């Protein structure tokens, strides 16, 4: 299947360009060649608006558009294409349902969710609970994010006659756990509760049959199933969709309008106001056909590769895998004992590995697990054993590179003072002279040892710098900058910033371009968008304290 994705070909503009080992498929997937070609063909030769004009070009576009709706209905075994609503993404799909339900449709005072829900399947329901005075019932996971028979029993027992809605993922985006949605929907239906299933992480990795699941709604996104971005699907049982009030109003969702009122189209059109993402919908067809044809082989291939990856990663000392090892799709999230996971991830990035570090839009779950962040590897249909070998080798290298007897937790309980004004710019010079990424990484680790460490009592809200990938605190005491961070790489960068700041007069410091300075030292690769925002805030704090 790999040959069907242009990403894995060498760039025609630069044959030496090495593309990353792509293992971030839970975030988004690479695109099928047929998806790219179909989208370009539509834009180049067939573009027109849909469901409005009746000239031949528009009629053809409308026919293509509705054909994709029917193919999508067939893919998930919906009763009718009228139950398939095009949206901008799974997030909008969930918001349409949550904002469109009225009190008369809620047969209870409780809404049940899982602790592991993505923010997109939590925040809309928080708002609904506030509007309708519902109680949010959260089913906790077991140790390290596992789902056991006890959790299943707790969930099923929580769904009772007082339950209005059950909203849960088919598969956890952070853990990969596959949840028993069929059993849940049976119980919900018996209790006259609505069942809303977030299928975003399931649709490209499992066979999805909404009739067999028995849910009222099922949502997913095109971009996570090898299709275009900017397109989501809301499957909504027709009788529910008829009574669901739209959250947006405008052209083409109406049958008649006066200055006082309007009459709405039936589903799905009453939810598709304005001009939709027509090209994405047309380009979605090859992705739907691809999954319809290959899903059985994909499931088999990804299961074997997941087991291979799990075995390789678990051989590495200190790795702790989160979530279930069985009954999971190809997602492996983990931490490494006694190491800053941000530093490990940064070393992976420098070795050309594309994976994700962070809270993965599941902050309540991470807090429940007592973790700041974790690394997530996620498999797609095009990955192979060579990708996993590269990843496991890079992970072992990253751990070896970051090896240090002093852990971050120990550092948090120590304080030290370094007077940067008493020395030349030795830290920056060493980083500048380090030619390879691993040598620069080592120099940042060494620089972290030269940071003036802020005492633990001073690591409070007043000193905290927000927006970083990990917690950071900065103060100035007795004319000296001090800081603390849960990442040695960030500590090293802060030490270099402090060193430079203390070499400048106050007037010069306020106008100095610290970002340009870090770039001149060859540290640009260390700034993800999240870390760049954090470093910007740290620089602002340094200037504010001058």
Check if 314 is active-site: no
| 154: number of Cβ within 10 Å | 15
457: exposed, middle or buried (Cβ count in 10 Å: 0-12, 13-18, 19+): exposed
Tokens at 309, concatenated: 């990856």
Alpha-helix residue ranges (DSSP H) falling in 101-199: 123-132, 149-158, 181-190
From CA 187, how far away is CA 200, in angstroms rounded?
22
| 345: number of Cβ within 10 Å | 26
Phi, psi at residue 491, to the nearest 5°? -60, -45
* Helix, strand, coil percent content, the chain, rounded in steps of 5: 45, 15, 35
Q: Does residue 202 sit in helix, strand or coil?
A: coil
Among 355, 361, 381, 459, the one annotated catalytic = 361
Rg of the chain over Cα atoms, rounded to whole angstroms, equals 26
Alpha-helix residue ranges (DSSP H) falling in 315-328: none
Place of tokens 């089913």: 139
Contact between 33 and 227 under an 8 Å Cβ cutoff? The reply is no
Q: Which of 499, 529, 525 is nearest to 512 (CA)?
A: 499
Strand spans (E) along 237-277: 254-257, 262-264
| 138: number of Cβ within 10 Å | 16
Q: Bridge partners of 322? A: 333
- Give the CA dihedral 294, 296, 299, 305, nearest 10 degrees: -70
Q: Which of 537, 498, 496 is nearest to 519 (CA)?
A: 496
Tokens at 345, concatenated: 């991830």
Tokens at 170, concatenated: 């088919």
| 464: number of Cβ within 10 Å | 15
From CA 118, how far away is CA 358, in angstroms rounded?
13
Q: How many CA atoms lie within 13 A of 377 on its CB side?
A: 29
DSSP-assigned letter for residue 313: H
| Catalytic center residues | 361
């Amino acid at each position: 299947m790999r040959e069907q994705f242009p990403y894995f070909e060498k760039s025609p503009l630069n044959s030496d360009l090495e593309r990353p080992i792509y293992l971030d498929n839970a975030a988004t997937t690479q695109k099928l060649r047929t998806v790219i070609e179909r989208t370009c063909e539509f834009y180049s030769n067939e573009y027109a608006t849909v469901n409005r004009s009746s000239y031949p070009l528009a009629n053809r576009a409308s026919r293509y558009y509705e054909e994709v709706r029917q193919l999508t209905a067939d893919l998930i075994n919906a009763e009718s294409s009228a139950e398939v609503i095009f949206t901008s993404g799974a997030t909008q799909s969930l918001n349409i349902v949550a904002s469109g339900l009225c009190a008369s449709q809620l047969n209870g005072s409780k809404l049940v969710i899982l602790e592991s829900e993505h923010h997109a399947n939590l925040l809309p329901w928080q708002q609904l609970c506030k509007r309708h005075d519902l109680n949010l019932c959260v089913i906790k996971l077991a140790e390290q994010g596992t789902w056991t028979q006890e959790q299943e029993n707790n969930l099923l027992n929580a769904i009772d006659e007082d339950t209005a809605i059950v909203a849960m993922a088919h598969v956890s985006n952070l853990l990969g756990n596959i949840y028993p949605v069929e059993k849940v929907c049976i119980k919900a239906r018996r209790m006259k509760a609505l069942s809303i299933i977030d299928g975003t992480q399931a649709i490209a990795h499992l066979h999805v049959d909404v009739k067999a699941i028995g849910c009222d709604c099922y949502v997913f996104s095109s971009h996570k199933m090898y299709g275009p971005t900017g397109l989501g699907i809301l499957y909504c049982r027709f009788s529910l969709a008829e009574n669901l009030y739209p959250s947006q109003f405008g052209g083409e969702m109406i049958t008649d309008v006066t200055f006082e009122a309007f009459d709405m189209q039936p589903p799905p059109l009453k939810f598709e106001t304005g001009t939709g993402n027509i090209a994405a919908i047309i380009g979605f067809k090859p992705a739907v056909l691809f999954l319809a044809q290959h899903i059985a082989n994909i499931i088999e291939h990804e299961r074997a590769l997941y087991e291979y990856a799990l075995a390789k990663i678990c051989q590495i000392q200190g790795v702790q895998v989160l979530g279930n090892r069985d009954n999971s799709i190809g997602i492996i999230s983990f931490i490494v004992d006694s190491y800053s996971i941000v530093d490990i991830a940064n070393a992976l990035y420098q070795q050309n590995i594309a994976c994700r570090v962070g809270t993965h839009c599941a902050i309540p779950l991470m807090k429940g697990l007592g973790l700041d962040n974790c690394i997530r590897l996620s498999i797609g249909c095009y990955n192979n054993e060579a990708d996993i070998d590269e990843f496991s080798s890079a992970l072992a290298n990253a751990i070896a590179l970051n090896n240090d007897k002093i852990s971050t937790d120990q550092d948090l309980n120590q304080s030290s003072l370094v007077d940067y004004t008493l020395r030349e710019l030795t830290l920056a010079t060493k980083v500048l002279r380090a030619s390879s990424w691993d040598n620069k990484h080592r120099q940042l680790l060494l620089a972290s040892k030269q940071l003036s460490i802020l005492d633990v009592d001073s690591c409070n809200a007043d000193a905290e710098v927000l927006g970083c990938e990990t917690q950071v605190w900065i103060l100035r005491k007795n004319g000296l900058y001090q800081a603390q961070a849960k990442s040695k790489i960030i500590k090293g960068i802060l030490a270099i910033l402090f060193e430079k700041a203390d070499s400048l007069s106050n007037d010069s410091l306020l106008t100095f371009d610290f970002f340009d300075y870090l770039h001149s030292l060859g540290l640009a690769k260390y700034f993800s968008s999240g870390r760049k925002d954090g470093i910007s805030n740290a620089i602002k704090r340094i200037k504010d304290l001058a």
